[in-house]
Structure 1
């Protein structure tokens, strides 16, 4: 399989990760487009023995960070609650829990959200994820731990005592396990 075919196989994964980073489908498409354009332009820098997927994800994440820092200097403002107009009836507990989890993930610091979504969506090894994000494995584990704890706390109803992951059962427990 040639380089272009390997890159094309990764596009759906790149889109999904970009969407989780930006929370905006237009910005996610732009991010993936920038990544693909850069990958094709710098194809000679890819080591043939290396993993093209990790190389692309690392590139996508770096472009995201660059866009984020340049947007901050331009003082661009992004939509804070893109799903705010969604209406969900109260009898849909699972939907409410998912909405709360998505809201919690949006509120995470970018570094924690990037680590969490990479692990949850693409399921690389911790070593590969740390390499993609350009951090040490211990730092990755720390970011994941803080992100998971924040999501748990955020999704916990105010009228209940704090729950631990082991005390959660049923569909809520399955959801927390999926977040790793």
Structure 2
């Protein structure tokens, strides 16, 4: 038990010693002090929550920088998805204005079909097809292997198509 505590203390001391360098790198990546501080905090949180995956004797700084870089890439992808997903405020005024009752019926049909899916399939469909996450990101969110998420998505999509085909 004593050895584990010492190892944990060394890990935490190493992370603490890296803070100024990590913050500088984060601000450099994000080009913004506030975003950099957020990125640095996320990196520290991720490192502390996954400290068991760090191999003692290897370079802690490289491990931490890799975590930060991966978080930054994920954040950039998410920002890009959000910018592509949402319409501008001006365009938002006209969204949904055309189509009338027929469009509303189709949306209700899709909602009903989606609601009828099993939870795991609905979750996969929503994350990948609606929210735009990659298979890997969605699998990470759900906490399952990518192959499992892929099969849930395929089954969910097929079930949706079958249910919507019955309605049409």
Compute the TM-score of the two structures, normalised by the length of structure 2: 0.43
**Which protein is bigger by CA-based radius of gyration?**
2
Q: Bigger relative contact order, structure 1 or 2, given CA contacts below 8 A and separation 6+? A: 1
